[in-house]
A and B are shown apart, each in its own frame.
Chain A
Amino acid sequence: MPDIIFQSTKHFWPEITLALTFIAAMIFEFATKKRTTGTGILVLLGLAAALVQLPSAPSEPVSIFGGMYAIDPFSTFFKYVIIVTGMVVVLFSFQSQELKKESGHTGEYYCFIAAVTFGMVLMTGSSNLVMIYLSIELVSITSYILAGFSKSLRRSSEAALKYVIFGALSSGIMLYGMSLIFGLTGTLDLSGIRTALASGHAVTTGWSFAALMAAIVLMLAGFGYKVSVVPFHFWTPDVYEGAPITITAFLAVASKAAVFAVMIRFFYVAFFDNMLASTGVYSSFRNVDWSMILAVLSVLTMTLGNFVAIWQDNLKRMLAYSSIAHAGYMLMGVVVMSNFGLSAIMLYFVMYFFMNLGAFYVVMVIADKIGSENIDDYRGFGKRAPIISVGLSIFLISLTGLPPTAGFVGKLFLFSSVMASQFIWLAIVGVLNSVVSLYYYARVLKNMYLREAPDGDESPIVFSKVTSAVVILFIIPNILLCFFYQPVLTFAQRSIAILLPGL
């Protein structure tokens, strides 16, 4: 046993770095009372240290800690996204006024960012049901805390409370599903489950099969809750609106990425058979029409997200609904159940990272400047703050999925993968939904460029050079990735191929 542990730690260094960052940051926070930025920088360095260790991850899948954790290019891809998101959020937080108000314990904020990142990274590699549950819980609990961080704002505490209640409920449901799976297959390990199912151990009688399906649905409820899939999304608008905006940004991008990683791993390693040679599509045991169910969920999610966003006046809440809609789009890729679809999801996450974080950053700096997140207060911004407005415009256009932005490429591949698998109606629904999304994104643009400021104020709103630089830094990849997406796509495709051999 000790040998296994020592062998495993060799590959576990990035995660260990993250855990140490968390602990070190807390100790630092204790030791030096008022130096909150210091803690932030320490966390940033820790995340960076973890990041630089990622490229040396083995390119062949390795299972460590006795089958608990898996290191493979698939999880490494997501780790990149998550850790970079964490670093970016820390950088954003340095500038956030919201957090400066909580001056008493802003240091702990950074510790928790480290903790959440650690949890998310853990999620991407979990290959055992216990680990999946633990990592999801770690992320959930730290998210609850971070969501309620702006204690001076009532809505923040409300957000945290709703999040806790909802999260507890969903965790419970998921845990029940896990227990059923354990009962049916006798093992908690994902590959072990696969073996058990393949040998027909669990699927002997009709009832067992039904129970297995019920268990999977329950687990789906748990995953769906974290990714904001309808009908498990109800916490999302309230929490995203109430939480500090940096946390909203973090949750919207990284949390989704991590859960998609674990969801894909769970479904594909445990439950899906090898690819049907002709269509490149995976078939599940006994051919349950998972694709139809997931497709329906995807459609519901997209539709609800896009349609309800139309009515929103608060930009944060609107972005929350928009992220629900994006979860719907990404779920389409899971529906497809092929290499193409999965690599499309991974590509989409990279694009999503740039456009979503950019949009949230702009909302944050504008909210800090004028104290409002209401769309009506964005009137006249085009003239008064040109760089910021251009940035927001590009991010919103990217979120809609129009060329020549990164969002377009992401959607292009998602829709292509869907159409390649004969789910044409799903692609059509997706495109129609994108059209609807154009409305509410364009409303912001309209306010910024075509409307006068309410009091006729034409004075320029000055943002610091750093702010403008950050915005430009996010604009550039949004445009560039539209043309130079190939490296990312190739990396994603190779990762999928390794994760799911037999391709």
Chain B
Amino acid sequence: MTFETILFYVLALAGIVSALLVITRRNPMHAALFLIVNFVALAGIYLTLHAQFVAITQVLVYAGAIMVLVLFVIMLLNLQNEQDLFEKRSWRSYSGPILSLLLLALLLRTVAFVSGGSFDRISPESERIGTVANIGQQLFTAFVFPFEMASLLLLAAMVGAVILAKKRFP
């Protein structure tokens, strides 16, 4: 039982619990906050995998930018009556969790045992791969083309978002 293992289990538990709480809270604010907890937990897991850049980006982008946006929207919507949002308990609301569990089971069965079922070893390569320096280098040499294309994607998304959201000028 190394420190890393304990850390992993704690973070994993935090992640799962917070995820469950996100989908079961009535108050959207609470749900959003729990989502932030989930993201941070995931960031922690990334750190245990020596993926520093991804971890930081996770916190910065997801927990920082995206969740702030989500919180803004929730506040703007200004829901007074949360009762309206409630979904009746029909077969539909039960089928969701059940199907998800089935999918999880199936995927676990296939994916989980790939390297002989043991997951407590991390490849020694990971220390080299996850560093900012390495990512930066890859991004500007081998993956420079997707990098540039992604910029176009962002441009399109930005302009599109503005178009969809703006009111017409009189």
Contact = CB atoms under 8 A, between A and B. Distances in A.
Contacts of A66: 142, 145
11 contacts: A1-B144, A8-B145, A66-B145, A112-B160, A131-B145, A131-B149, A142-B160, A149-B163, A160-B164, A210-B109, A214-B106
A54 interface: no
Interface stretch (A132-140, A305-313, A406-414, A431-439): A132-140
Contacts of B143: 68, 130
B22 to A, nearest CB: 16
B146 A128 contact: yes
B41 to A, nearest CB: 19
Nearest to A173: B103
Given A160-B164, A211-B114, A214-B110, A142 B156 contact: yes
Interface residues of A, number: 45
Interface residues of B, number: 29
> What 3 pairs across the A-B complex have the smallest Cβ distances?
A145-B160, A65-B145, A210-B110
B152 A19 contact: yes
Given A104-B169, A148-B164, A211-B114, A135 B144 contact: no
Interface in A314-340: none
A401 to B, nearest CB: 37
A208 B116 CA distance: 9
Contact of A118 (B106, B107, B146, B152): B152
Nearest to A116: B156
A207 B114 contact: yes
B97 to A, nearest CB: 16
B81 interface: no
B153 A145 contact: no
Given A141-B156, A142-B156, A142-B160, A207 B110 contact: yes
Interface of A: 1, 5, 8, 19, 22-23, 26, 65-66, 68-69, 104-105, 108, 111-112, 115, 118-119, 122, 128, 130-131, 134-135, 137-138, 141-142, 144-145, 148-149, 151, 160, 180, 183-184, 205, 207-208, 210-211, 213-214
Nearest to B117: A207
A112 B161 CA distance: 12
A138 B149 contact: yes
A206 to B, nearest CB: 9
A235 B130 CA distance: 38
Contacts of B155: 23
B80 interface: no
Given A104-B169, A208-B114, A214-B111, A130 B152 contact: no
Interface in B25-54: none
B79 to A, nearest CB: 18
B160 A122 contact: no
B13 interface: no
Contacts of B107: 214
Contacts of A1: 140-141, 144
A200 to B, nearest CB: 15
B72 interface: no
A108 B166 CA distance: 13
Contacts of A142: 156, 160
B102 interface: no
B159 interface: yes
Of B116, B149, B155, the most chain A CB neighbours within 10 A belong to B149
A211 B153 CA distance: 31
A265 B161 CA distance: 32
A68 B142 CA distance: 9
B149 A211 contact: no
Nearest to B113: A207
A214 B156 CA distance: 32
